Copies of this chain bind each other. A is one copy, B any other.
């Protein structure tokens, strides 16, 4: 089931995401020129059929004009890479940023590149380590012509209709959303939607994790609580006598429930690996998109209480509220003579 319109694409950044994008493209008949600072990563993909480049110069030289160069890089090094790459390109070429850039940077970059006749496309890419097989959900921003030109690439990378049931009430027959990729609007719109996607992801993850934690602690009545003025007594210990298998709960929610979701699927898988999740200490990173989503909500004046709360929960998991908490303890000591309880 190869693509009926094979193209050539250059990929810069051959980490897990970049390498798998190349593989998915080649499987479908596209040709790829690949570059990374890690020569091993290049060699590996050469062995699988890609054309390796030894430098950005070589990379640019091996691409047929009009070039299409996809960047799959950590946000922090995109601009430095562009500085080196752009002088090697020509009017009519297109740069695609497939990483997690802040959408405002897209707006700035697109404007600058336009002065040199170079197209810029921002493409939020969701799918994680499973994308090679499942396909990647693509949220795309840029000018119509540039985006349309790359359609065969997007179509291959995206999941396609697959075995997901069509939306019953959908009557419109145009549009690529049902195939898992969407041109969201002008530059920045792709990363804007991807940014919010990640914000939603934070909220959904937190809802699932909190719920399972409440279920895990349904045995609270079996624990002994200290009896002192610093500890809230549990009034109804007999109502918290359950030992519920949290992993099995995640598993059962996978079928027929309202909360059925890929995140619940993954949660069930994680518990199947490790019923107590002993490998994790619970320090949860956040990598920008959540904060930027909240920022957009603030600018727009839209309450995003749940997404924000999920973000702060991650902050708390990393003890970032520690100074706040010390102030609280200090106040309690001042007005009530309360000493802190030891763990």
Q: Which of A177, A287, A300 has the most CB of B within 10 A?
A: A300
Q: Which residues, 126 to 140 on A, are CB-close (under 8 Å) to B? A: 126-131, 134-139
Copies of this chain, count: 4
Contact of A286 among B184, B209, B232 (CB under 8 A): B232
Q: Which residues of B contact A67 (CB under 8 A)?
A: none
Subset of 22 A-B contacts with CB under 8 Å:
A100-B229, A126-B257, A134-B256, A136-B256, A137-B256, A167-B254, A168-B272, A182-B252, A192-B215, A203-B203, A210-B305, A211-B307, A240-B296, A257-B262, A266-B334, A277-B330, A280-B325, A281-B340, A282-B328, A284-B340, A285-B338, A291-B299
Contact of A128 among B169, B258, B298 (CB under 8 A): B258
Which of the segments A34-42, A82-90, A193-201 contacts the partner chain?
Answer: A193-201
Contact of A308 among B100, B203, B312, B321 (CB under 8 A): B312
Complex: chain B residue closest to A268, CB-CB? B167
Which of the segments A2-10, A52-60, A243-251 contacts the partner chain?
Answer: A243-251
A227-B74, A298-B294 as given contacts; A162 in contact with B284, CB under 8 Å: no
Contact B337 A255 (CB under 8 A): no
Complex: chain B residue closest to A129, CB-CB? B337
Q: Which residues of B contact A249 (CB under 8 A)?
A: 139, 177, 182, 184, 193
A44 to B: closest C-beta gap in Å:
17
Contact B270 A331 (CB under 8 A): yes
**C-alpha gap A230/B169 in the complex (Å):** 26
Interface residue? A202 (CB, 8 A): yes
Q: Which residues of B contact A205 (CB under 8 A)?
A: 328, 331-332
Q: Which residues of B contact A49 (CB under 8 A)?
A: none
Contact A303 B332 (CB under 8 A): no
Interface residue? A148 (CB, 8 A): no
Contact A200 B189 (CB under 8 A): no
Interface residue? A324 (CB, 8 A): yes
Q: Which residues of B contact A208 (CB under 8 A)?
A: 200, 203-204, 327, 331
Q: Which residues of B contact A215 (CB under 8 A)?
A: 192-193, 196
**C-alpha gap A304/B320 in the complex (Å):** 10
Contact B230 A285 (CB under 8 A): yes
Interface residue? A16 (CB, 8 A): yes
Interface residue? A112 (CB, 8 A): no
A213-B302, A312-B308 as given contacts; A288 in contact with B233, CB under 8 Å: yes
